[in-house]
């Protein structure tokens, strides 16, 4: 973590100096904003946390509830989301507070007893990620995003007690083309309305999204017509795997899932309830927490379940639905219009919680959108960049809905087939699906943002279009062992990782030194072309180099000036750009990610941690062309 580069600042480094014109809690609603976010769920807050770090972007978050969430709703955090949390700076905090899911067990009716453990598997395969799969209250995730917002230069806070009632888009306007009608939900002021004009409106307002309705969108799909109960509780039980993630299938009473939660005692149960008719909603049955507990007790027999406290509960029906487009621009008008209204999270896709992906995919939507909005609003990119949001994220959501549709039926299937390789069907499918449930199968198609696989063989462990798979390195200047991926912050910058060829020590005339000189000094370089006058050299494209040698054999002082840049108002040296393979613990990144040792390569990582391209060190024209297709000239 780098700070003090603009002068010494005592206290918590996570607390930025406030912008002079920041809006304060209790101030009147603004007349105009750059971005209005409807909803303060995981998608809305993930997006707001990114935008809040740019004081020049005026952001407003409206939420119909009267205060922040305290309990309930989602709880599973995939390893991919944990990697994202690391970029936001609170990955370690979530690891400390959360319940780590290390093993998953499977229980079914036995031949001699009513319930036996029939399988257990490792929950996250070795080598998948440096991050664990964890469970934690969604409200705590909200808290951490809210802390980022409050501590940002913008000092951004949600405006509670307001919802988007309607909006109108003036496609001919260039400034604040979206007029939003906000409706007050506070006691005594219900129904009162006010208007705010915005450059962009983001609908993170759930499955019944008013923003989606206002742009003519609808969710399409089907339902399994099955009611499920979810309950957070404190209980005394003799069930042996109470602190393991477990699937429990009884002979006569259906199934449930056990999800141990943070704190050592709290547990969440997902319990199969009643079958619903075609036009029936779960709420029509009038079931409550007592019904969930009674059903769980029957499924757990012969084990006892003595519930001491119910913390939260809900009964819902499974739905698998997707909207046609995640923005307001019809396909026929994409060449002449850029999006002004976009959707994220449940506003554009819904699914069951069985795979634990709802909150994760919603935050993934926002992380994809955030850097694009920042790039457009700061003038780095043309507004047409925003078209890529719907294209990329709808494809990811479609895969999730299709996967969830199949997985929910596997989990809910009656009876068990014969075990294969010692695993019953649900356990076997669970193992096969682990890359998906870890959040690691999303691969963006080739586009301006995701290059072709022409040079993929130079680093076959960094799949183009997939998330950047971190690995250990040693930072040269201070010999710090660390994960290379942890050099990526959620700050809307691209990363250019240069992997040096064998025997290249960055001596003048070598491949790395020549590349660095070109990047820093040649007018055709993307660093020169897309960095505005007066900005730090790494403010748009952050270049870092990884060498194959042991860190003790290289001298930081001999590195090119691009890798020792002067930053901040004092022109202080940045010591965090140069790394070496970790020979100390025998964790060589070149071996781990199958990087061509003889040739080396460049790996472009997008601001959302996805690999944008893999290129040869000599492919300077291709490198420049990649960035020219995304960013405006500003040099």
- Six-digit token pair at 559? 């590195």
Q: What is the pLDDT of residues 93-112, one digit of tens each?
A: 999 999 999 999 999 987 66
The predicted structure's pLDDT at residue 74: 81
On the 0-12 / 13-18 / 19+ scale of CB atoms within 10 A, 18 is middle
pTM: predicted TM-score of the whole model, two decimal places:
0.95
CA proximity to 60, closest of 131, 137, 184, 159: 159
The residue written with tokens 């090119």 in the block is 560
Count Cβ atoms below 10 Å from residue 95 Cβ, excluding itself: 17
Strand 193-203 relative to strand 341-343, pairing? parallel
pLDDT band at 348 (very low <50, low <70, confident <90, very high): very high
Q: Are 117 and 109 in contact (CB under 8 A)?
A: no
Distance CA 588, CA 573 (A): 27
- Report the alpha-carbon distance of residue 335 to residue 322 in Å, rounded: 24
Residue 22: the pLDDT is 87
pLDDT of 49 over the 90 cut: yes
Beta bridge partners of 167: 180
Q: What is the chain's Cα-based Rg?
A: 26
- What single DSSP character describes residue 97? H
Q: Which of 135, 150, 145, 131 is nearest to 92 (CA)?
A: 131
pLDDT at 434 over 90: no
Prior bond of 302 cis (ω within 30°): yes
| Alpha helices in 255-357, H assignment, sequence order | 289-300
Question: 114 pLDDT exceeds 90?
Answer: no
Q: Supply the DSSP string of 461-512, one letter for each residue.
A: TS-TTSBP---EEEETTTTEEEEGGGG--SSS-EEEEEEPPTT----TTSHH
Residue 58: phi, psi to the nearest 5?
A: -90, 115
Position 308 pLDDT exceeds 70: yes
To the question of domain 453-628 being in CATH 3.40.30.20, the answer is: yes
pLDDT in tens, 320-345: 889 999 999 999 999 999 999 999 99
Domains of the chain, residue spans: 453-628
Closest alpha carbon to 72 in 265, 208, 266:
266
Cα separation, 241 vs 210, whole angstroms: 43
Instruction: Please give the structure tokens belonging to residue 48.
Output: 């707001």
How far is 413 from 394, CA to CA, in rounded Å? 28
Query: Please, what is the average pLDDT of the chain?
Result: 93
Assess whether pLDDT exceeds 90 at residue 284. Answer: no
CA distances from 267 to 212, 242, 246 (A): 35, 8, 11
Query: In the beta sheet, which residues pair with residue 341?
Result: 201
- Beta-bridged to residue 119, according to DSSP, are 106
Among 13-27, 69-83, 124-138, 416-430, name the one with the lowest average pLDDT: 416-430
């Amino acid at each position: 973590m780098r700070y003090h580069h603009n002068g010494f600042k005592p206290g918590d480094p996570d607390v930025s100096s406030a912008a002079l014109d920041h809006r304060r809690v209790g101030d009147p609603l603004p007349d105009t904003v750059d971005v209005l976010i409807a909803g303060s769920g995981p998608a809305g807050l993930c997006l707001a946390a990114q935008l809040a770090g740019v004081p020049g972007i005026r952001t407003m978050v409206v939420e119909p509830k009267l205060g922040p969430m305290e309990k309930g709703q989602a709880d599973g955090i995939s390893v991919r989301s944990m990697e994202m949390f690391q970029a936001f700076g609170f990955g370690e905090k979530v690891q400390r507070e959360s319940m780590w899911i290390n093993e998953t067990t499977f229980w079914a009716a036995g031949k001699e007893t009513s319930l036996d453990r029939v399988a257990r598997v490792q929950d996250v395969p070795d080598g998948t990620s440096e991050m664990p799969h964890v469970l934690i209250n969604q409200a705590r995730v909200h808290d951490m995003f809210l802390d980022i917002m409050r501590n940002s230069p913008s000092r951004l806070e949600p405006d509670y007690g307001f919802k988007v009632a309607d909006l109108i888009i003036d496609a001919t306007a260039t400034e604040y083309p979206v007029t939003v009608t906000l409706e007050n939900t506070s006691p005594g002021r219900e129904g009162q309305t006010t208007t705010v004009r915005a450059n962009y409106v983001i609908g993170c307002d759930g499955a019944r999204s008013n923003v989606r309705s206002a742009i003519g969108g609808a969710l399409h799909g089907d339902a399994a017509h099955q009611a499920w109960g979810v309950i957070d509780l404190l209980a005394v039980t003799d069930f042996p795997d109470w602190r393991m993630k477990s699937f429990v299938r009884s002979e006569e009473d259906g199934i449930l899932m056990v999800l141990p939660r943070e704190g050592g005692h709290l547990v969440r149960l997902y319990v199969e309830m009643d079958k619903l008719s075609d036009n029936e909603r779960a709420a029509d049955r009038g079931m409550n927490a007592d019904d969930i507990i009674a059903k769980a007790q029957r499924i757990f027999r012969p084990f006892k379940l003595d519930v001491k406290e119910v913390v939260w509960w809900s009964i819902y029906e499974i739905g698998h639905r997707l909207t046609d487009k995640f923005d307001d621009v019809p396909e026929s008008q994409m060449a002449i219009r850029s999006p002004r209204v976009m959707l994220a999270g449940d506003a554009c896709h819904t699914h069951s919680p069985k795979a634990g992906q709802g909150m994760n995919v919603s935050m993934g939507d926002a992380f994809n959108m955030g850097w694009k909005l920042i790039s457009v609003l700061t003038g780095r990119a043309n507004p047409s960049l925003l078209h890529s949001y719907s294209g990329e994220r709808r494809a990811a959501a479609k895969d999730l809905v299709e996967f969830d549709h199949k997985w929910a039926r596997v989990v809910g299937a009656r009876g068990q087939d014969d075990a294969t390789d010692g695993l019953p069907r649900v356990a076997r499918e669970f193992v096969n699906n682990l890359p998906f449930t870890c959040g690691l199968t999303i691969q963006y198609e080739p586009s301006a943002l995701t290059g072709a696989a022409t040079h993929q063989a130079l680093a076959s462990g960094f799949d183009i279009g997939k998330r950047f798979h971190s690995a250990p390195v040693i930072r040269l200047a201070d010999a710090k062992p660390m994960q290379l991926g942890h050099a990526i912050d959620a700050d809307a910058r691209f990363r250019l990782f240069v992997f040096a060829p064998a025997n290249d020590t960055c001596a003048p005339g070598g491949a790395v030194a020549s590349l660095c000189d070109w990047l820093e000094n040649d007018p055709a370089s993307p660093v020169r072309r897309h960095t505005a006058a007066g900005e730090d050299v790494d403010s748009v494209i952050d270049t870092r180099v990884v060498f194959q040698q042991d860190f003790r054999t290289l001298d930081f002082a001999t590195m090119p000036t691009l890798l020792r840049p002067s930053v901040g108002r004092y022109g202080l040296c940045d010591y965090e750009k140069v790394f070496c393979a970790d020979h100390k613990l025998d964790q060589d990144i070149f071996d781990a990610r199958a990087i061509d040792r003889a040739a080396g390569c460049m790996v472009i990582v997008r601001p959302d941690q996805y690999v944008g391209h893999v290129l040869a060190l000599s492919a300077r024209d291709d490198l420049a062309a990649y960035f020219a297709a995304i960013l405006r000239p500003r040099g």
